[in-house]
Amino acid sequence: MTGLVRALREYDGPPVRLMEVCGTHTASIAQNGIRSLLPPSIQLVSGPGCPVCVTVTAYLDRLIALSRRPDTVVVSFGDLLRVPGSRESLAGAKAAGGQVQMVYSPMDLLRLAKEKPGRIFVFAAVGFETTAPVYAMLLNRAKEEKLENIRLLTSLKTMPPVIDWVCRQGTVDGFLAPGHVSVVTGSRIFEPLAAQYRLPFAVAGFSGETILAALCTLVKYRGQGRVVNLYPSVVTGEGNRRAQAAVEECFVPCDAAWRGIGVITGSGLQLREEYRAFDAGSDGLLEDREANPACRCAQVLMGELLPGGCPLFGAVCTPNTPQGACMVSTEGSCYHAFLNGGGSQ
Amino acid sequence: MKITMAHGSGGRETSALIEALFASRFDNPALARMEDAAVVEGAQRLALTTDSFVVTPLFFPGGDIGRLAVCGTVNDLLMSGAVPRYLTCGFLIEEGADTQVLERIAASMAQTAREARLSIVAGDTKVVEGKGGVYINTAGVGFVPQGRELGAACLQKGDVLLLSGPLGDHHAAILSARMGIENAIRSDCAPLGEGVFALFDAGVRVRAMRDVTRGGLATVLNEWADRSGYAVHLKEEALPVSQEVRAFCGILGLDPLTMGNEGKFVAAVAPQDVSRALSALRSARYCAEAAVIGEISGADEAGVLLHTRLGGIRRVPPLYGEGLPRIC
């Protein structure tokens, strides 16, 4: 057993609840069996950092409607296909004749658009600060190559406003800050939140050891407004300026709806006026209506409820029959809780 | 030459295609009679299996659909303890397919069949409308020696699990080819006869074997756990995965435990026979990196449990969905 595990097991302070915000951390915690190493006084909850999980039904419904247009093809990452909209998923729409194509990179859109100039290709542009620069790059390439049949349906979100929202709920004692997001934004972006709420933030990579080190740091600085960067090989204080500039060139902040939370002021990104020709109608997609009213995704996303506390978990809602987004995404907390047999962990 | 609908008519073009492309390459006495069915020597315990092969691209680093179609069925026969003897193959060819492509596939099948020491004794060709694709079904027959019983029902508490080599290479090679990623990863596609026979020749008490294809090791071992009622314990540190595949998985968010392979098998053997089994396997072709990866434990637990490098324990689920790359 490593010294880090011993240090965590020897923790004898008051119970702490630590939130990992990023879906990749959620996956790594499950894959490394980290919960099985922690004492009962240290609880891990998953936050709203899985881009697919926080997407509202109005957005999915709009994508589904677009896929039914004869001249339009909806292009998406695989994760989004099975997320239920208010009535069906994109995968369901595809099976019923909707035009939906899965790709691994948004840049594939350039090839598709050139191959079929008579079709309009709409990319389901979900994601956080990490993915936004890729969309900016795509649009600039499309402009250079004068491709007029590329559109984005945007549902882009930014981390600090939603972390602020979680802090205000007062249920979390520290954050395992999102590692990939921090590469772009820089670690300093969390300093105002840390100071205001007197909570520790640990920026960390994704190996089991670094997550353990981050948890030790959070326990050690409990009650202190500190940002500790444990990922200095790729995360700097100021972040990736080029990526930030690319995003600023194409996008401006906007209000955004988060599944289960509602609208958070200034928590999204929308296309700037001069890029609006690329927009597939992303405005006003704020409504959020669960396909299954008993679904408790919202509370799970906020760390208020563990996956096993949802009445649908494991019975009605499984990876094969997902009722909510948290069970679909490979970064979803319910998905990992189900697969690793730990709904109540 | 391009395949046309006439090649599937059943008439002269069909015979010409079969003669030129397949019969000449698969040549053996049973096939050469060109009757409606092959007549072969038998009167033993038979193992029978069939599988269909659909892969894009048709040719990939380390293999092609032809080698895959032979290995897939041969390995299924081997896992039941059989000595593979005869294979049939059915080709579904889309209009527009190039005969040069078919020649390469047939040559690869013939070469793989020779390597696996079995004969392709019957076949069928159909041409359908489409865009030049090729799909292959193979069925295989093998003979099982008297007294040899293998399967999940034979698993015993304390049995040790051996894996014949590193995980994930085929899956990663195919994905790389599809995504246009250049790397050194090659499919592990191979017939596993040498490794399997080495175990039996060394007198190892083999309880069960499975080839670790689609769904990956996680899916195979969950099936063993479900059917036997025992728990399967794995050691994360012992699981062989190459550096390249590990890096590839890290980027795409894939798990080697649920990735497909085409030339790997897992065997459960009696604990007393482990060292003999391991040295026999490691001296066999395609099994040089064989490793002990875990064991079967009592019926008081269930499922597949992985002991992680950090000392934690997690449950390993079978593959759900398609194992799609993550997005951020």
Give the DSSP letter string of A251-313.
EEEEEEEETTTEEEEEEEEEE-GGGGGGBSS-TT------SSTT--HHHHHTTSS-GGGSTTB
Please state, in angstroms and rounded to a whole number, the distance separating the CA atoms of residues B7 and B15: 8
Whether B324 has its CB under 8 Å from any CB of chain A: the answer is: yes
Please state, in angstroms and rounded to a whole number, the distance separating the CA atoms of residues A200 and A223: 7
Residue A73 maps to which CATH number? 3.40.50.11740
Please state, in angstroms and rounded to a whole number, the distance separating the CA atoms of residues B324 and A39: 33
pLDDT in tens, B141-177: 999 898 888 988 899 999 999 999 999 999 999 989 9
Please state, in angstroms and rounded to a whole number, the distance separating the CA atoms of residues A169 and A303: 10
Across the interface, whether the CB atoms of B179 and A104 are under 8 A apart is answered yes
Looking at the DSSP bridge assignments, the partners of residue B231 are B297
Q: Which residues of B touch A320 (CB under 8 A)?
A: 320-321
Q: Which residues of B touch A37 (CB under 8 A)?
A: 310-312
Across the interface, whether the CB atoms of A330 and B310 are under 8 A apart is answered no
CA dist A122 → A19, A256, A270, A274, B297 (Å): 34, 20, 15, 18, 52
**C-alpha closest to that of A27 among B185, B234, B326, B171:** B326
In a domain, A345, yes or no: no
Residue of A nearest to B252 (CA): A104
What does the pLDDT read at residue B146? 86
Across the interface, whether the CB atoms of B312 and A51 are under 8 A apart is answered no
**Average pLDDT across chain A, whole number:** 90
In a domain, A341, yes or no: no
Which of B:68-127 have CB within 8 Å of A?
none
What does the pLDDT read at residue B328? 42
- Tell me which H or E stretch contains A46: strand A42-46
Across the interface, whether the CB atoms of A33 and B312 are under 8 A apart is answered yes
Q: Is B52 helix (H, G, I), strand (E, B) or coil?
A: strand
Which of B:173-232 have CB within 8 Å of A?
179
Q: What percent of chain A has pLDDT over 90?
A: 62
pLDDT in tens, B29-44: 777 766 555 566 776 7
Across the interface, whether the CB atoms of A330 and B308 are under 8 A apart is answered no
Whether B208 shows a pLDDT value over 80: the answer reads yes
Tell me, what amino acid is at A48? P
Q: Which residues of A touch B317 (CB under 8 A)?
A: 338-341
Domain with CATH 3.30.1330.10 in chain B: 5-144
Please state, in angstroms and rounded to a whole number, the distance separating the CA atoms of residues B264 and B256: 13
The residue range of the domain holding A255 is 1-334
Domain with CATH 3.90.650.10 in chain B: 152-315
Quickly tell me which residue has 């895959």 as its tokens.
B68
Confidence of residue B296 (pLDDT cuts 50, 70, 90): very high
Q: Is B72 helix (H, G, I), strand (E, B) or coil?
A: helix
pLDDT (average), residues A151-164: 95
Confidence of residue B73 (pLDDT cuts 50, 70, 90): very high
In a domain, A340, yes or no: no
Q: Distance from B260 to chain A by nearest Cα, in Å?
A: 18
pTM of the model: 0.79
Q: Which residues of A touch B307 (CB under 8 A)?
A: 33
Residue of A nearest to B309 (CA): A32
Please state, in angstroms and rounded to a whole number, the distance separating the CA atoms of residues A74 and A4: 46
Tell me, what amino acid is at A209? E
Please state, in angstroms and rounded to a whole number, the distance separating the CA atoms of residues A81 and B249: 21
What does the pLDDT read at residue B29? 79
pLDDT in tens, A241-260: 999 999 999 999 999 998 87
Whether B59 shows a pLDDT value over 60: the answer reads yes
Q: Distance from A340 to chain B by nearest Cα, in Å?
A: 5
In a domain, A339, yes or no: no
Across the interface, whether the CB atoms of A104 and B325 are under 8 A apart is answered yes
Whether B327 has its CB under 8 Å from any CB of chain A: the answer is: yes
What does the pLDDT read at residue B5? 67
Across the interface, whether the CB atoms of A1 and B311 are under 8 A apart is answered yes
Burial A14-24 (b: 16+ CB within 10 A, else e): eebebbbbbbb
Q: In three state form, how does the secondary structure of A145-210 look? A: CCCCCEEEEEEEECHHHHHHHHHHHCCCCEEEECHHHHHHHCHHHHHHHHHHHCCCEEECCCCHHH
For residue A196, what are its two tokens? Answer: 């205001």
Pick from B309, B325, B326: CB nearest A208? B309
Residue of A nearest to B305 (CA): A340
For residues A21 and A175, the answer to whether their CB atoms sit within 8 Å is: yes
**Average pLDDT across chain B, whole number:** 88
Across the interface, whether the CB atoms of B310 and A126 are under 8 A apart is answered no
Q: Distance from A192 to chain B by nearest Cα, in Å?
A: 25
Could you tell me which CATH number the domain at B152-315 has? Answer: 3.90.650.10
Please state, in angstroms and rounded to a whole number, the distance separating the CA atoms of residues B262 and B270: 25
Q: How many A-B residue pairs are in contact by the CB < 8 A criterion?
A: 90
Residue of B nearest to A106 (CA): B327
Q: Distance from B103 to chain A by nearest Cα, in Å?
A: 30
Across the interface, whether the CB atoms of A79 and B326 are under 8 A apart is answered yes
Which of B:235-264 have CB within 8 Å of A?
252-253, 255
For residues A195 and A225, the answer to whether their CB atoms sit within 8 Å is: yes
Domains held by chain A: number: 1
Could you tell me which CATH number the domain at B5-144 has? Answer: 3.30.1330.10
In a domain, A343, yes or no: no
